Amino acid sequence: MDDDIQKLIKLTTIVKVDDNVSRKTVFGDEHCVSRFQKNQGQQIILSHLENNWNNIWKSLGDKWDKKMQNYRFLYDSFRLFYFSFEQLRFNKVAGITEIYGNKNWRQRFHFHELAGVGVYGMYFHGNKCIKLLETLKLIDPTHRDFCNKFSETRNKLIEHNYNPKDLNLQIDPSIWSLASTDSFLEIHIHLPDTEERAYDAYVDYYEDYYRLERIITDIIRAEGVNY
């Protein structure tokens, strides 16, 4: 396996890698089942956290400072993370439904593009939440490895995919893979000057969302105990 591919696996939330030259799976379970197929899960009900947030505001007092500002940013970023995934789910399901018995390709294309916007927003705002939690010193050491991998998934696979830092790879996430009936984002990896699409890697964006949602909500509940 290419050394940079091994680094990429260690840095991100990739769950499987296929080597298209040797035509075999080189990392992960060849027959792994996605979160969409086995357990789609349910997002938390946001209103259930409002008492916790209100207790946090009370504990911070009336004086506006950097800590208050960062908690406000966290509140907003978590909601954007949440609604990005909600819209991703909605448009993914709608896109799958429209594939069958519908010849209006423009409508299918529209749903697929909206799902792509959702997955990009989910990783962008999720990463912002992680940075704010780090600033506020709220991340438990047991969650740091996953949080780092989530951030690097955003950095290496989505935001800076054409020239990922410290890796001689070109990475091409396939937004069209969101239209399938699983929760894997397919990522084509090219080795510059050698092989186009030498590897296909897969990220389970449902699993990534629910793990980070749970980490953040547990922190908010712990911080927002009765005041």
Q: Which domain holds residue 184?
A: 3-223
pLDDT of residue 162 exceeding 60, the answer is yes
CB proximity list for 127: less than 8 A, separation 6 or greater: 150, 151, 154, 155
pLDDT band at 114 (very low <50, low <70, confident <90, very high): confident
Count of structural domains, the chain: 1
DSSP H or E segment with residue 191: strand 184-191
pLDDT of residue 147 exceeding 60, the answer is yes
Model confidence over 17-67: pLDDT tens digits? 999 988 999 999 988 888 777 777 899 999 999 999 999 999 999 889 999
pLDDT band at 184 (very low <50, low <70, confident <90, very high): very high
pLDDT band at 102 (very low <50, low <70, confident <90, very high): low
User: How far, in Å, CA of 221 to CA of 56, rounded?
Assistant: 10
Closest CA to 171 of 35, 12, 21, 1: 12
User: How far, in Å, CA of 110 to CA of 128, rounded?
Assistant: 27
Rounded percentage of the chain residues whose pLDDT exceeds 70: 94
User: How far, in Å, CA of 104 to CA of 109, rounded?
Assistant: 9
